Amino acid sequence: MSFDDLLADDGRVEPRDPMPDGYRRTLVRQIAQHAHSEIIGMQPEGNWISRAPSLRRKAILMAKVQDEAGHGLYLYAAAETLGVDRADLLDQLHTGRQKYSSIFNYPTLTWADVGAIGWLVDGAAIVNQVPLCRCSYGPYARAMVRICKEESFHQRQGFEILHTLSHGTPGQRAMAQDAVDRYWWPALMMFGPPDDDSPHSAQSMAWGIKRFSNDDLRQRFVDMTVPQAEALDLTLPDPEIRWNDERGHYDFGEVDFGELTEVIKGNGPCNRERMAHRLRAHEDGAWVREAAAAYAAKHAVPEEGAA
Ligand code: BYC
């Protein structure tokens, strides 16, 4: 079946199927950015592993951060099915030629930020990623199924942290509110620029890579989150949020997309720190890559038919 017929039939494109160069390039760009986000996303929460307030919280947080490393690996593997090399993708991240999500350039100042990341950042990730389980490219869609299952645990643990804090001492409650105040707007920015300023959306939607536009997903996230904030007894830092009967959605205030542009350009509060840490970790891990390559060479199974 031709590429266009396959898409018209809502079929899945597989690695050996013919595909336009632009489709392949768009997928590599998006999947690589997504993989990079997962591994850079380990840093803000990783900062709190040694300071989690109990052994239980520490064990849960370690498992969550480890899940994110796993998501990065599935996604790099999905990108490799498109004929690119993982080491090259990492090199593009390290030299600033490929991006990662803006959200991970904000600091985690208190324990409540770990709750806010789980609730808001993983919540936004789920809204963005559930439709990607129906992405037209098979390996990406299948990777997203497992990632979304794990993200939903992550979101609930964040909600539970904030629920505990918001029903705790006045100091804990204030800490939870402060974290939500700082993470709300950056979470809305995760969905990308508004539709009118999104250069890739129309083509990605025509190719079935993205199923919904940036603004539609942002609205969906607001609609899902407002009632949850009420359940947490916390407020969202936007006086313009109110239910609109006519639209059947919550109205909300203007997102500062100038801030998103600045963070994407490298001028967010933690961009330099995140990249420096990533580079250091990559250099420190060189011996592991060398050892793994030596082991693989020694234990390589000869291909069938080879002498
Ligand atoms: N941050 O035309 P647009 C996670 C870039 S992982 C940085 O709308 P597109 C999690 C965009 O790349 C979260 N850059 O693009 C992990 C493009 O630049 P280039 C990551 C952004 O691709 C650990 C330009 O702006 N999730 O959730 O159609 C712990 C124009 O944008 C951002 C994914 O990656 C941003 N926020 O749509 C917890 C999901 N927004 O490439 C949680 C998969 C836009 O032309 N990705 N840009 O240089 C997507 O769904 C889409 O790529 C996006 C952007 C909606 C992000």
Is 305 a domain residue? no
The answer to whether position 41 is within a domain reads yes
- Give the range of the structural domain holding residue 126, as residue numbers without chain letter: 3-297
Asked whether residue 11 is domain-assigned, the answer is yes
| Residue 235 falls inside a structural domain | yes
Q: What is the CATH number of the domain that holds 43?
A: 1.20.1260.10
Dump pLDDT digits (tens) for 114-149: 999 999 999 999 999 999 999 999 999 999 999 999
pLDDT of res. 245: 98
CA 27 to ligand 1 centroid distance, Å = 12
> What does the H/E/C string look like for the chain?
CCHHHHHHCCCCECCCCCCCHHHHHHHHHHHHHHHHHHHHCHHHHHCCHHHCCCHHHHHHHHHHHHHHHHHHHHHHHHHHCCCCCHHHHHHHHHCCCCCCCHHHHCCCCCHHHHHHHHHHHHHHHHHHHCHHHHCCEHHHHHHHHHHHHHHHHHHHHHHHHHHHHHCCCHHHHHHHHHHHHHHHHHHHHCCCCCHHHCCCHHHHHHCCCCCCCHHHHHHHHHHHHHHHHHHHCCCCCCCCCEEECCCCEEECCCCCHHHHHHHHHHHCCCHHHHHHHHHHHHHHCHHHHHHHHHHHHHCCCCCCCCC
Closest ligand 1 atom number to CA of residue 191: 55
pLDDT digits (tens, 9 = 90+) for 188-247: 999 999 999 999 999 999 999 999 999 999 999 999 999 999 999 999 999 999 999 999
In a domain, 121, yes or no: yes
Q: Is the CB of 65 under 6 A from ligand 1?
A: no
pLDDT above 80 (res 307): no
Give the tens place of pLDDT for each residue, 82-110: 999 999 999 999 999 999 999 999 999 99
| Ligand 1 midpoint to CA 37 (Å) | 9
Domain-embedded: residue 302: no
Residue 227 lies in a domain: yes
Q: Is residue 307 part of a domain?
A: no
Q: How confident is the model at residue 305 (pLDDT cuts 50, 70, 90)?
A: low
Write the pLDDT tens digit of every residue in 35-58.
Answer: 999 999 999 999 999 999 999 999
121 touches ligand 1 (CB under 6 Å): yes
Query: Domain tally for the chain?
Result: 1
- What's the whole-number mean pLDDT along residues 176-192? 98
Which band of pLDDT confidence, cut at 50, 70 and 90, is reported for residue 300?
Answer: confident
